[in-house]
Chain A
Amino acid sequence: MKNRLLWPLLALVALLLLNLVVTPSFFSLRVQDGHLYGGLVDVLKNGAPTLLIALGMTLVIATRGIDLSVGAVAAIAGAVACVHIGTSDSAGTAIVGMVLALALCALLGLWNGFLVAGLGIQPIIATLVLMTAGRGVAMLVTEGQIVTVNNTAYKQVGAGFVVLPTAILIALLVLGVVAFVTRRTALGMLIEAVGVNPEASRLAGVRSRTIIWTVYVFAAVCAGIAGLMISSNVSAADANNAGLWIEMDAILAVVIGGTSLAGGRYSLTGTLLGALIIQTLTTTVYTIGVAPEVTLVFKAVVVIAVCLVQAPKARAALSFRKVAVPS
């Protein structure tokens, strides 16, 4: 475990140090109107949606699955909430809207779970359906418009502060809850068992279908919360661009964090590190003055590097050389 987290941790530290060199004020924090500002806070705040989605993705990947639909689900959540809120500024309406949105997301998660666990369709393909159709559904909800809202309560979710930005607090809260639930109940162990060896788990009497169903619903709800956060931050729902490619970032975060796409043992701490690395990378590219779009190149390099470090074949090739020299 410690070994697996070492590389991501080093990468994160290196990135942060690079930022420190480029912008000496990067680590400085300042308090203004009881709100905390600073480079690190920005990284955390901007990384919150990715982290949320990556948390759900971690559990899905641990069961040997993958969920490509999270970006679309996030867009749907934002769309439903904003359309429900409309021009209202009441907190009640905002809460009802968000609850509606999350309930719908849970339904969508049930749908994914049905395709994967119920019908036995490959997860990549099963969730591709919702990835494709989901944005259409989001646009159906918003009728193709970018729906803007002006609701104080809703704004709190993504752009508000309770000393720290609310987005950070929500993401950390979800992280805490997931960590607590998976450790304190047997869920974590059973998820890993299903991911490592589905047949052995079945013969040991594990209800693997229920487990798989649960993680897809959880992933969709996480995506929903992230979607609300994204839309609240800009007080608008953009069905086309909200959460675009966030599924890729989330998968990336999970993989960087040391959870294998082949399923099995997962690390929530690793995912946290992975999400932070991705966000810091984006920030770094921005601060060193390269066009933000070019971040993609760096991401590509990171993906390949991390995968190569983790791939058994690449490792074998490296260690083989080590062994071969002395003998």
Chain B
Amino acid sequence: MTALSQRVPSRFLPVIATVVLFVLAFGAGSARYDGFASGQVIANLFIDNAFLIVLAAGMTFVILSGGIDLSVGSVVALSTMVTAAGLRAGWPVPLVVLAVLLIGSTLGLLMGIVIHKFDIQPFIVTLAGMFLARGLCFLISVESVSIKNSTFRDVATAAIELPGGVTITYNVVIALVVVAVAVYVLHRTRFGRTVYAVGGNESSALLMGLPTARTKVGVYVISGFCSALAGLLFSLYMLSGYGLHAVGMELDAIAAVVIGGTLLAGGVGYVLGGVVGVLVLGTIQTLISFQGTLSSWWTKIVIGVLLLVFIAVQRTMVRR
């Protein structure tokens, strides 16, 4: 407990490591490939991963509280499906958005209640949530449903010009707003600090008289909401709804959060770390696509290795 933590920045070390990793990966790309070090490549990192950033923000809450949410990928798929089917049925866009967000939050609420009330491991409950959400997709339609709604398409294709000729999409703006709100909630509200307290030491938090029950359920609601929102962003990105969208995305989100320096045991970590984690994953993909001859499966292997390295680092930090 003492030796390393005597120095203040020790809790920032993992995040700093992630930022260094990102800079190194990006620097390596810039050095090797022409056109890599452009503003648009960075912008594309955000455009292509906006939904993952939102997912990682929600996942950060859950992991900080000491839990885990395996359902996020499936909830993304369900959200794309509800969006596509709703629009096809002629619902107005605001209603679709509201319905999607409501479904995601409700699923999160239900899982949170089961986890807390019945003391069943989050892993199993959210695994059931994962099955349920996937299955519900196929109840709506087994086929992919494309989105033809013009408002939706306009938003999806709209580009926002930034100085320097770089363009981003509305997805990026939404993702960044989510991150800002998440940072505020985690660091500036009682709820956010209680999330850290519960993750740090749940029985202490209870003895300190903090509302642990509300907090533990709350993080799953937030994660459910973020998954639904990420699903909307994914619908904008893919312009279709499909039960096989976002397969395994929960692992990407977890990986991003862990690589971003959040302790899987809970209590330590930052939303911004998760964002950098997403950017690292995105950069690896970009690197591999620039490289051309390296195949896409290297992404998975590299992510696995990174996970391992960060877990090992966390392990030594926890042991001290």
A residues adjacent to B (C-beta < 8 A) = 66, 119-122, 124-126, 128-140, 143-144, 239, 248, 251-252, 255, 261, 291, 293-301, 303-304, 307-308, 311-314, 317
Q: Interface size for chain B: under 10, 10 to 19, 20 to 34, or 35 or more residues?
A: 35 or more
Say whether A299 contacts B243, CB under 8 Å.
Answer: no
Give Cα A297 to B134, complex, Å.
Answer: 7
A188 to B303, CA, bound (A): 36
Residue of B nearest to A142 (CB): B297
- A-B pairs with lowest CB-CB distance, top 9: A133-B304, A136-B300, A297-B135, A296-B135, A139-B297, A293-B138, A300-B132, A136-B301, A300-B131
Q: Which residues of A have CB within 8 Å of B312?
A: 119, 121
Indicate if the CB atoms of A132 and B307 lie closer than 8 Å.
yes
How far apart are the CA atoms of A131 and B125 in the complex, in Å? 20
A139-B297, A261-B121 are contacts. A248–B131 as well, Cβ < 8 Å? yes
Cβ contact of A294, chosen from B117, B135, B296, cutoff 8 A: B135
- In the complex, B186 has a CB within 8 A of chain A: no
Q: Are B315 and A261 closer than 8 Å at their CB atoms?
A: no
| B114 nearest CB neighbor, chain A only | A304
Chain A residues in 8 Å Cβ range of B4: none
Select A291's contact among B129, B132, B138, B295, beta carbons within 8 Å. B138
Once the chains are docked, how many angstroms separate the CA of A296 from the CA of B251? 19
**A120 and B129 alpha carbons, distance in the complex (Å):** 29
Residues of A near B128 (CB, < 8 A) are 299-300, 303-304, 307
Beta-carbon contact of B127 and A132 below 8 Å: no
Tell me if B298 counts as interface (CB < 8 A to partner A).
yes
Interface hits, B102-159 → A, CB 8 Å: 114, 117-121, 123-125, 127-132, 134-139, 142
Asked if B304 and A132 make an inter-chain contact with CB atoms under 8 angstroms apart, the answer reads: yes
Grouping DSSP codes into helix (H, G, I), strand (E, B) and loop, the B interface class, with mixed when no group exceeds half, is helix
Partner of A304, one of B68, B119, B125: B125
Do A297 and B264 touch (CB < 8 A)?
A: no
Contact call B315/A121, Cβ cutoff below 8 A: yes
State A301–B311 Cα separation when bound (angstroms). Answer: 33
Rounded to whole angstroms, the CA-CA distance of A198 and B166 in the bound complex is 58
Q: Contact partner of B123 among A124, A126, A139, A317, CB < 8 A?
A: A124
> Chain B residue with minimal CB distance to A315?
B118
| B172 sits at the interface (CB 8 A) | no
> B303 — nearest CB in chain A belongs to which residue?
A132
Q: Is the CB of B304 within 8 A of A140?
A: no
Do residues A125 and B311 form an inter-chain contact, with CB atoms below 8 A?
A: yes
* Cβ–Cβ < 8 Å partners of A296 in chain B: 131-132, 134-135, 138
* Min CB gap B112→A, angstroms: 13
From A119, A140, A293, B135 is in contact (CB under 8 Å) with A293
Are A132 and B255 touching (Cβ within 8 A)?
yes
Is B265's CB within 8 Å of the partner chain A? yes
